[in-house]
Amino acid sequence: MPHFFSNKRLILLLVGVIFLVALISFSLRDRDHASLPEQIVKDVVGFGQSFFSKPAQYITGVFENVDSLLNTYEENKRLKSRLEEFAKVQAEANDMASENERLRELIDKTEDLRDYDPIQATVIARNPDQWEEKIILDKGEVHGVKENMAVMTAQGLVGKVELTTPFTATVEMLTTQNPNYRVSAQVVGEQEIFGLIEGYDEERKELVLKRIDSDFDIKVGDLVISSGLGGIFPKGIPIGEITEVSTDDYGLTKLAYVKPSADFSLLDHVVIASRTMQNVDGSDGNDTNKEIGDEGDEES
């Protein structure tokens, strides 16, 4: 009897396997329509998926909307704060513009110390004996070039026009050894710190910035620009960068060495600054530059 039931179970197992294989092969056939059992199963499963997925999607959408609203609220707060800052800056800018206009009216001055008309020029000659002191340009009096006009490159200040002819101009550079050659300069920083470029150290290949008030704090790396004072050099032209700070021989003022921004050994194309600033007497600045002479002499 046990042997019979054992064989019966084996037969049932074989029949089940055969039925399962037949069902799999039947379901894998290419058919245009699903069978009735498959349709029932798919419909039931599809209904169940729809029943659960729609509420889930709705709840997910609600949370996403809430999160979006929270993000929008935070973004609106940030935008409002920035708008308040912008309004404050705009008000300050308007106030400064108004104050600047009043000051200009007060001194009857319409030009800015930075204003100038550029005249493009090319270096056509350079005397080997004065390689570090003078260059000759291809623009002269017929092009509007006059004595004491500033000369610069894209990197920084080069010098000023010393002599003109109808078609050429001789430029005395910052590296000259002329003891009377001075440039009013300003150290860029939170405070307005002024000094004079007086002289050139040939060994260091650097300019010398003198007459700096000892109370002011200047340091290595500070940028030096033209101050615009004196009526020759426009304001804001880069001169160089401070490499060393010390005191003068008497210990009353500070002295700084300045690495020039312009490369004086490779000068090709330059810009001549034709200034239109009016002087105190109302005449054009370019016409009175001959009387000014060296910029430092006018200030000191």
pLDDT given for residue 92 in this prediction: 66
- Does 280 reside within a domain? yes
Residue 102: which pLDDT band, with cuts at 50, 70 and 90? low
Interval 12-67: pLDDT, tens: 888 878 877 776 766 655 555 556 665 565 556 566 655 666 666 667 766 677 77
- Does 8 reside within a domain? no
User: What would the two tokens of residue 216 be?
Assistant: 């002011």
Question: What is the domain extent for residue 201?
Answer: 117-299
Do 124 and 268 fall into the same domain? yes
CATH number for the domain spanning 200: value is 2.40.10.350
Lowest mean pLDDT among 22-31, 178-187, 267-276: 22-31
Do 148 and 248 fall into the same domain? yes
Residue 272 confidence (pLDDT) above 60: yes
What gap in Å lies between CA 285 and CA 226, rounded to an integer? 17
**Considering 108, 136, 158, which residue would you say is the last residue of a domain?**
108
Q: Which carries the bigger pLDDT value, residue 167 or residue 249? A: 167
Residue 278 confidence (pLDDT) above 70: no
Average pLDDT score over residue span 173-196: 88
Do 284 and 140 fall into the same domain? yes
What gap in Å lies between CA 266 and CA 240, rounded to an integer? 16
State the Cα torsion 242-247-248-250 to the nearest 10°: 170
Do 176 and 249 fall into the same domain? yes
End-to-end CA distance of the chain: 133
Residue 99 confidence (pLDDT) above 70: no
- Does 6 reside within a domain? no
Residue 299 confidence (pLDDT) above 60: no
Residue-by-residue DSSP string for 200-238:
EETTTTEEEEEEEETTS---TT-EEEE--TTSSSPTT-E
Interval 193-229: pLDDT, tens: 899 999 899 888 999 999 888 888 888 989 999 988 8
Q: Which carries the bigger pLDDT value, residue 261 or residue 36? A: 261
What gap in Å lies between CA 52 and CA 39, rounded to an integer? 20
What gap in Å lies between CA 4 and CA 13, rounded to an integer? 14
Do 151 and 67 fall into the same domain? no
Do 85 and 53 fall into the same domain? yes
Residue 191 confidence (pLDDT) above 70: yes
Do 47 and 153 fall into the same domain? no
Residues 271, 111 contacting (CB under 8 angstroms): no
**Considering 108, 130, 152, which residue would you say is the last residue of a domain?**
108
Residue 286: which pLDDT band, with cuts at 50, 70 and 90? very low
Domain count across the chain: 2
Most confident of the following: 9-13, 25-29, 118-122, 187-191 = 118-122
Residue 116 confidence (pLDDT) above 90: no
Q: Tell me the three state secondary structure of residue 82.
A: helix
Residue 90 confidence (pLDDT) above 90: no
Beta bridge partners of 66: none
Most confident of the following: 77-86, 157-166, 260-269 = 157-166
Do 101 and 123 fall into the same domain? no
Do 100 and 228 fall into the same domain? no
What gap in Å lies between CA 88 and CA 192, rounded to an integer? 25
